[in-house]
Amino acid sequence: MSESGMRDSIDGVLTALGERAYLADRELATVVHLALKLGKPLLLEGEAGVGKTELAKVTADALGARLIRLQCYEGIDVAHALYDWNYARQMLHIRTLEAAHAVQPDSVSDVFGEEFLVRRPLLEAIQHSDPVPPVLLIDEIDRADDEFEAFLLELLSDFQVTIPEIGTIAARERPVVILTSNRTRELHDALKRRCLYHWIGHPDHEREVAIVRVRVPEAPERLAREASAFVGRLRTLALVKTPGIAETLDWVQTLHVLGRDELDREVVEATAGALVKHREDVERLVRASAGGLVEEAKRDGGP
C-alpha cells in the first residue's frame, strides 16, 4: 500500500495497517486518515499495551517515512527534547583557534553555529530534509510536566522553534505527529485543542482473537480463543494493572512455547507472570483460576 493509499481513503488506511498486522477498527482508521489529510497532530489515549505506540510505528512504515521517537519522562526539558550544544566540539574548536593564535573577539559566537548543534527529536523532525515527512512520535506525554506540555503548544501550532544564537527554524514540510498518553494525569485542554483525539480501548473478544492469530500465527486457534477469553474476563477484576493486548500476545507465545494448545488451571497459574506484573494481581489471578475462571474462559472461547 502506497503513501497515497494511506492519505486517500479510510479503506486505504485499514488495508495498509492490516498488511502490517495491525488490525484497526474503522473509527481508528478514520481518525488516522483525517490526521494525515488535515495535517493535524493525533493524540491517542488508552491504557498501556493497547497498541498506541505500535500504531505510530506501522503508520511510519506504511507511509515509507522515518520514525522519530521522543520518549517523555518526568523532568524532560528542552535540552533533551529539542536541541543542545556539542560542548566538547566547541571547546576543541576554541583550543584550535588559540593554538593558531586566531582567537578574535567574535570567536566565541562562532561556536554557536549549526555545525555545533546537537539535534534532539523535536528539532530533527522540524528541520528534516526527508523525501517523505517523518512521523514524530511523542510517546507518553502524560509523564512530562506541565512546563514541557506548555512548550509543545507553540511547536504543534506553528511547527517552528527559535534558537537564540541561530534564529527561527520553521518546518518546510510538517511531520506527521502522533502523541500517546496512558492518562496517568489529565492533559491540558490547550494541548488537546491542537490535536485530533482518539481513545484506544481493549478489543472485544473476536477482534482480540484475530489480532492474536495475526501476530502469533503459529499458535493454535483454540489456544488463541481460550487465552483471549480468559484475558477478557480477567480485565473485569479489580487489578492493579489490567493486561493489554501486548500482554495477551506475550502470554499466548509463552503458552505456545510450552507446547500447549488449550488452557488448564495448572498452566495458567504457572505462567501468570507473563500476563500480570504485580504480586497482588498474580494472587487475584490464582484465586480467580481456582474459582472457575479457566473453565468459563474455555466455554467463552469456543468456536
Please indicate whether residue 303 or residue 274 has the higher confidence score (pLDDT).
274
Only one residue has cell 527561527, namely 168
Residue 88 — very low, low, confident or very high, per pLDDT cuts 50/70/90?
Answer: confident
Domain around 9: 3-75+132-199
Please report the pLDDT score of residue 54 as a whole number: 96
Same domain, yes or no, for 209 and 195? no
More confident of the two residues 91 and 39: 39
* Same domain, residue pair 214 and 194: no
Is residue 32 located within the same domain as residue 168? yes
Distance of CA 251 to the CA centre of its chain: 21
pLDDT at 3: 55
Same domain assignment for residues 38 and 143 = yes
Residues 57-78, mean pLDDT to the nearest whole number: 94
Residues paired with residue 167 on neighbouring β-strands, in sequence order: 163
Q: Which amino acid is at 99?
A: A
Provide φ and ψ at 36, rounded to 5°.
Answer: -70, -40
Q: Please, what is the end-to-end C-alpha distance for the chain in angstroms?
A: 32
Residue 120 belongs to some domain of the structure: no
List, as one string, the DSSP characters of 11-32.
HHHHHHHHHTT----HHHHHHH
pLDDT of residue 162: 80
Q: Does residue 127 lie within any of the structural domains?
A: no
- In this structure, what C-alpha cell is assigned to residue 235? 480485565
Per DSSP, the three-state class of 10 is: helix
Predicted local distance difference test score (pLDDT) of residue 108: 55
Assess if residue 121 is contained within a domain: no
Angle between the 221-234 and 279-290 helix axes, to the nearest 10 degrees?
A: 110
> Tell me: the pLDDT tens digits for 205-231?
999 999 999 999 999 999 999 999 999
204 φ/ψ sector (left φ>0, alpha ψ -120 to 50, else beta): beta
Residue 287 has pLDDT above 60, yes or no: yes
Give the CATH number of the domain where residue 41 resides: 3.40.50.300
Same domain, 243 and 96: no
Cell numbers describing residue 69: 521517537
Is residue 157 located within the same domain as residue 110?
no
Q: Which residues contact residue 95 at a Cβ distance below 8 angstroms, ignoring those fewer than 6 apart? A: none
Lookup: cell for 217: 500465527
pLDDT tier at 84 (50, 70, 90 boundaries)?
Answer: confident
126 within 8 A of 161, measured Cβ to Cβ: yes
Residue 1 has pLDDT above 50, yes or no: no
Residue 104: is its pLDDT beyond 70? no
Cell readout for 140 is: 507518553
Q: Write the DSSP symbol of residue 134.
A: P
Percent above pLDDT 70 for the chain: 94
Whether residue 110 is found in the same domain as residue 45: no
Given a cut of 70, is residue 4 above it in pLDDT?
no
Is it the case that residue 78 has pLDDT exceeding 90? Answer: no
- Average pLDDT across the chain, whole number: 90
For the segment 87-96, the average pLDDT, to the nearest whole number, is 78
**Average pLDDT for 238-243:** 94
Residue-level length of the chain: 303
With cut-offs at 50, 70 and 90, classify the pLDDT of residue 11. Answer: very high
Q: Do residues 32 and 68 share a domain?
A: yes
Same domain flag for 100 and 193: no
Q: How many domains does the chain have?
A: 3
The verdict on 136 and 24 lying in the same domain is: yes
Q: Give residue 106's pLDDT.
A: 53
Q: Which distant-in-sequence residues (6+ apart) come within 8 Å of 197 by Cβ? A: 31, 42, 43, 45
Residue 95 and residue 70 share a domain: no
Mean pLDDT of 100-129: 75
8 has a pLDDT exceeding 60: yes
What is the reported pTM?
Answer: 0.87
Dihedral of CA atoms 124, 56, 49, 212 in degrees, nearest 10, equals -140
Q: Decide: 183 and 48 in contact? Cβ < 8 Å.
A: no
Quick check: helix, strand or coil at residue 161? strand
**Regarding predicted confidence, which is higher, 111 or 290?**
290
Residue 126 lies in a domain: no
